[in-house]
Chains A and B, each alone.
Chain A
Amino acid sequence: MSATGPQPEKQSAAPAGRGPRWDDSALQTHHGRLATATSTSTEIVVNVGTTHSDSPASAISVRLLARIAMTPLTAKRLHDMLGRLIPPQEAGGPRATGNG
C-alpha cells in the first residue's frame, strides 16, 4: 500500500476565475488492488482495499483502505466514466480523460 497525505494545501494550475479551484489538502492516494461496492436506498458505497502477504507461499490478508459513500447520481456518473475509460485501457490504447 502507499498512501499520500494529508499534504499542505495546494491548488490546481487553473488560472484564477477560470474553472474549479481544487482544495486537495485532505487528498490521499491509495493503490487499491480490491474494489467492491454496496448500496442502500440513499447511497452507493465503494470500498477500496489491498492485500498483504508475508511471502508468496503464505496466506494473504485483506486491508480496507478507504470507504467512499456517494449519491446514486454521482455513482452513475462514475460508472459512465469507468465504462469509457476501461475499454481503451484494455486495448492498450490511449486513456480518455475522465470528462472526455
Chain B
Amino acid sequence: MPEPGAIRSLDEAAQANEFLIVDEFLQTLVAARALKTAFELGLIDRLAEQRSGSVEALGRALKLDGKGLRFLLDLLAANRVVEEHGGDVRLSRRFLQALRYRDLLELKLDFAGFSIGDFADRFTALIQNAGSFMGEARLFQLFDYRRCFEPSFDNYVRARHWMRITSTLTRYEGQACARAHDFSPYRRMLDVGGNSGEFALQLCRRNPALHATVFDLPLVCEIGMEHVLAEPEHARIAFFKGDIRNDPLPAGYDLIAFKSMLHDWPAQEARQFIDKAVRALEPGGTLLIFERAPLKVREATPPLSLLPHVLFFRSYRPFTDYVAELQGQELADISHQQIDLDMPFFIVTGRKPGRRGY
C-alpha cells in the first residue's frame, strides 16, 4: 500500500487498487459499528466539510451529550478515523483517503452489518448443514433470484437492494479486472449474469470500440437499464432478458464473460452455463471467467468487511476447476491470472478454436 501522499492522481490510485484502503477501517465489529454511527449522526460529513471542530462544538451541532460523544470519538480515534490536536477533532489523513471511496466504504459497512446475524446465529448450521443454513439465512433470502421475473414494485425494491451491493463491489473489482486483462481487441461482449451492467460499463469506459450486451433475468435488466441510463456509455450497452437455465444465449460475440456469477450455482449448472457460452461464442472468440477464489482463512482471520464472503465460503472454487472446464470444452490458449483484492480473485480465459470472422 503506498504511503499517504504518494498517490498523485486518481488513475494512479486506481492502478494501485487504492480503494482497498476502506477495509482498514472495517476490521472489527466494534470499530465498524462506531464508524457507521459516525456516518448516521452526520459526524463524518461535518468533519469532512469543516475540516475540524472542537469537541464542544461537535456536541452542540450533533445534539450529543458529552459522555456519548467522548466515547464515540475515542472509538473512532482507536480506529484511526479521527485525530485530536489541542481540543480540535479532525478526520485522519488516512481516513480522508478512504473517504474518496465512500460508496464502497458505506456499502461494505451495510453488507457486513446485514450479515452479522447470520454469522452470529447460524454459523454452526453453515458448517454442519449447508442446506439448512441456506434455507434460513437472511443473506440467501436477499439474493433470491426467483423474485427477479415478475415486475412488481416489491420485487423491484428487493432486487435493487442486492443489486446495489453487487454493482458497488463490481465498480471496483471490475476496474482491477480491466487493468489485468487486455480488453482492447474485443468488439462485442456478452456479459452473462451481467447484473446492472456495471462490469460492462467499466469495460466500455476504458475501451471505446467495445459494445456490450448484458444477459440477465428480466427484472435485473430493467434495473440495469436505469443504472446505465445517465452514463455516457449507455448507447454501447444493451440488455437481453433471459434465464440461462432455459434460454439460449444470443450469438455474435467475440467475448463472453462471467463475472462473479458461476459461484452462485452448483458445479453441474456452472458446467452447463459454460457449455452454453462456448456454443454461443464466435469462432476465435474468448471466454473469460472473473471469479472469487476461496478465502485463505488459515493465514489470517478474516476482517469484518469480509463477513458476507465468509458466509459464501462453500461457493468459491479454485481456478483449477474452471481451467479443467475450459479444457473439457477444448478451448485453446487457456490461461489464468490471480488477482489479490480484499480477497483472492482470478481471471481464467480460453479461446474458441477457429478464425475470427469480424
Contacts and interface: CB of A to CB of B under 8 A. Distances in A.
Interface of A: 34-36, 38, 45, 47, 49, 51, 58-64, 67
A35 B234 CA distance: 14
B221 A60 contact: yes
A60 B238 contact: yes
B238 A49 contact: no
B240 A59 contact: yes
Contacts of A35: 226
Interface in B226-245: 226-230, 234-235, 237-241
Given A59-B238, A62-B234, A36 B226 contact: yes
Contacts of A34: 225-226, 229
A47 B235 contact: no
- Interface pairs A-B: 7 shortest CB-CB: A59-B238, A47-B230, A49-B229, A59-B240, A61-B238, A36-B226, A60-B239
A36 B229 contact: yes
Given A61-B239, A62-B225, 11 more contacts: A34-B226, A35-B226, A36-B227, A36-B230, A38-B230, A59-B240, A59-B250, A60-B238, A62-B237, A63-B235, A64-B229
Contacts, number: 47
| Tier of interface size on chain B | 10 to 19
B202 interface: no
A57 B28 CA distance: 49
A34 B238 CA distance: 14
Contact of A64 (B221, B230, B238, B239): B230
B213 interface: yes
Contact of B239 (A59, A63, A67): A59
Nearest to A32: B229
Contacts of B239: 59-62
A58 B237 CA distance: 13
A67 B226 CA distance: 13
Contact of A60 (B226, B227, B235, B241): B241
Contacts of B237: 61-62
21 contacts: A34-B226, A36-B230, A38-B230, A45-B230, A49-B225, A49-B234, A59-B213, A59-B239, A59-B240, A59-B250, A60-B239, A60-B240, A60-B241, A61-B237, A61-B238, A61-B239, A62-B228, A62-B238, A63-B234, A63-B235, A64-B234
A58 B248 CA distance: 12
A45 B228 CA distance: 15
Q: Which of A36, A51, A62, A67 has the most CB of B within 10 A?
A: A62
B240 A61 contact: no
Contacts of A61: 235, 237-239
A35 B156 CA distance: 14
Contacts of B228: 62
Interface string B210-233: 000100000001000111111000
A51 B239 CA distance: 10
Contacts of A63: 234-235
A60 B221 CA distance: 9
A67 B230 contact: yes
A59 B225 CA distance: 12
